[in-house]
Each structure stands twice: as structure tokens, then as C-alpha cells.
Amino acid sequence: MNSKLQLATRVAVALCSLTIAISSNATEVDFNYEKFVLDNGLTLIVHEDAKAPVVAVNVWYHVGSKNEKEGKTGFAHLFEHLMFNGTENYNDDWFKPFDRVGGTGMNGTTNFDRTNYFQVVPKNALDFALWMESDRMGHLLGAIDQGKLDEQRGVVQNEKRQGENQPYGKVFITAFKNIFPKGHPYSWSVIGYMEDLEAASLDDVYDWFNQYYGAANAVLVVAGDVKAQDVKERVEHYFGHIPAGPPLTRQGTWIPDLVGTHRQVMQD
């Protein structure tokens, strides 16, 4: 299947999915939760579900590739990788202690608009999970050095090669470049450009963390066999000391004015 047909097929599937989603017969999702905002601006959302003795802990930061500047593309995702390489208080691999307490699903993702980190733990390991998340929100930078940056830069660059060196691997990168005008924050892919990843520096790491990883720019979601008020008290204990971070101006976006037809021939 050529790249144009592949792209057209994916768009058609997406439109069909959207049509199904907004159908009048669609089931409305409704579940109970409680929302709290700490004094430092951290938003906490708690959903009680006692069907199993486990707890899901998710932290969402309001920052993604749209917050990058031209020449700094791919940095939001690169920084996500650095969040798994130890902190000032626990300078070791993030996954090892979660394995020891029976944690599962530890990971993180980055897209245009947000970055998130998540895990599921037994209910008796909730304090541990909250401490680990609060520690990297509040005490990350002292553990990041040039060696760790270079290591994760290489990992991300290999991800980029793996994604692009396969059939149709560059279709969506090319599509976004043609849909959004140069300079639009959605005109580059989340993985970024190789030369920008190569140029990322420790100063970029410090600036990104200090600007976007404050408590007021995050939402913590806890769902599982818990009580909301108890979770609130625990979160205040572990996260309450973390600075809010600087006031942020949300990245402006706009709907591009598409005029005429854009055509580009790709060859893998």
C-alpha cells in the first residue's frame, strides 16, 4: 500500500471512529471522584474503587511537545526519559523498587499537550508510590548529569530510527509538516528532529524542569482501593513542600488556514 493510500485509510478510520463516538447511542461514562487542590497548586483527583486491593497512581504534567521551540524539538519526550533515572534521594533505576513491592505498568508517555507517568501498586504500597512520585517532582535535578543525558539521548534517537525505518514510518511526520504551517507548535512530531536531540544540553534539562515540573502544573490521579480523605492527607504529606513553580502562560495554538492543495511524494 503506498503512503498516500495508507494515510487516506488512517484518516478514514479516524473519522469513522469519531462518528461512532458521538453517536446518540453512545454510553455516557460516569464515575464518582473527589477533587482537591493543595496550597502549592497541585491538583489531586481521587476515585474510590474497592473491587481489588490495588491502587493506580498517575501524574500528569501540562507540558508536551507544543511547548518546545524550533531548534529544541523532541525535548519533552527526552525529558520524560530522564525522569526514570534516579533522584537526589534515590539515585538508581526507577523500576527496581517497584518490582520489589509488586508494582506493575510503570511507564510514561509524551504527546503534543501533556506528559504523564503512571504505575499500579498493591494498596499497602501507596505511600511508597507517592513518595517516589513526589521525590522526582521535587528533587530530580541533582541526580541528572551529562552521562545520563547522553545515555537517554541515544535511547530516544534509537526510538526515532526504529519508528522511521519501517514502512510508512515517516507518513505522519510529513503530514503534520504539510497541515500545520512552519512555526506552529503542532508542525513537528513529538519525537523531534535528530539534530535537535543531538544539541540538547544540561541547561535545557534544568530550564525545562524548573519551568514546567512545578506542583501547580501537575495533576495527580489516584484510583483504587482507597478513601479520598486519607489520600488527600497522604498527598499533602509527600507533595505539600514542593514549590508551585513559576506562573505559566499557556502555549498559543491556532487552526491553520489551509489554502489550496499540498502534495508531496515520499519514497521509503
Active site residues: 80
| Distance between CA atoms of residues 129 and 100, nearest Å | 12
Spell 130-140 as b/e; 16+ CB within 10 A means b: bbbbbbbbbeb
| Distance between CA atoms of residues 57 and 74, nearest Å | 26
227: how many CB neighbours lie within 10 A of its CB? 12
Q: Which amino acid is at 142?
A: G
| Distance between CA atoms of residues 93 and 70, nearest Å | 32
Distance of CA 247 to the CA centre of its chain: 20
CA atoms within 13 A on the CB side of 84: 18
Helices marked H in 60-125 — which ranges? Answer: 75-82, 95-100
Q: Which amino acid is at 188?
A: W
Give just the sign of the alpha carbon dihedral 191, 193, 194, 197.
Answer: negative
Helix (H, G, I), strand (E, B) or coil at 218: strand
C-alpha cell of residue 113: 499537550
